[in-house]
């Protein structure tokens, strides 16, 4: 595992990080490690996966008629990802410390640093609102004559208009 460190002390001597090449075998090893993590935190990992997948499906269903908002809010959902994934980070931290990764403590991991997490969440929400507004302006400028339907958006993306 020591060879997988991203930034070692030897790279700081030059002032630049050392860029390593990876082999396809490395990817297979990462997947094996991720399956081992999944086996260790079964229910909690599956819970988070289902919640995030359900949120995406519900967002798509809710915005089906307002398809011009879907790209901006989908990418905005990714902006909120670091905040939403705090429970997953807590599970990883517990596994790294060889503690039992359970769901309930991971759901309240934000409580240990409430002030900073609140500021971070607030900044991300402001960025989401700015991003959603900018995306709406881009759609308005790109699609002259009204907001497009989902099918028109797909056609425009495929046709590279």
Separation between Cα atoms, residue 114 and residue 53, nearest integer Å: 26
In this structure, the answer to whether residues 74 and 153 fall within a common structural domain is: yes
Helix axes 70-79, 114-142, angle to 10 degrees: 160
In this structure, the answer to whether residues 68 and 27 fall within a common structural domain is: no
Work out the number of other CB atoms within 10 angstroms of the CB of residue 3.
7
Percent of all residues in the chain with a pLDDT value above 70, rounded to a whole number? 88
Across 6-38, b (16+ Cβ under 10 Å) vs e yields eeeeeeeeeeeeeeeeeeeeeeeeeeeeeeeee
Residue 98 DSSP symbol: T
In this structure, the answer to whether residues 51 and 129 fall within a common structural domain is: yes
For 132, the domain range is 42-159
In this structure, the answer to whether residues 16 and 73 fall within a common structural domain is: no
The mean pLDDT value for 28-48 works out to 89
Please give the pLDDT value at position 29: 93
Secondary structure, 3-state, 31-62: HHHHHHHHHHCHHHHHHHHHHHHHHHHHHHHH
Please give the pLDDT value at position 108: 87
pTM: 0.63
- pLDDT 10s digits, 68-116: 677 777 777 777 777 778 888 899 899 899 888 888 888 888 888 889 8
Residue 26 has pLDDT above 90, yes or no: yes
Question: What tokens were used for 59?
Answer: 């967002």
In this structure, the answer to whether residues 138 and 59 fall within a common structural domain is: yes
The mean pLDDT value for 50-58 works out to 87
């Amino acid at each position: 595992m020591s060879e997988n460190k991203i930034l070692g002390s030897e790279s700081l001597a030059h002032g630049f990080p050392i860029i390593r090449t990876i082999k396809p075998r490395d990817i297979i090893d990462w997947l094996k490690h991720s399956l081992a993590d999944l086996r260790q935190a079964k229910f909690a990992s599956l819970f988070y996966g289902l919640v995030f997948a359900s949120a995406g499906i519900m967002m798509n269903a809710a915005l089906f008629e307002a398809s011009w908002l879907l790209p901006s809010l989908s990418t905005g959902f990714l902006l909120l990802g670091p905040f939403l994934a705090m429970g997953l980070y807590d599970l990883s931290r517990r596994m790294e410390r060889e503690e039992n990764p359970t769901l309930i403590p991971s759901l309240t991991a934000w409580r240990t640093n409430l002030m900073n997490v609140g500021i971070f969440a607030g900044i991300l929400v402001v960025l989401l609102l700015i991003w959603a507004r900018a995306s709406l302006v881009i759609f308005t400028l790109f699609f002259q004559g009204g907001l497009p339907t989902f099918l028109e958006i797909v056609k425009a993306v495929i046709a590279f208009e």
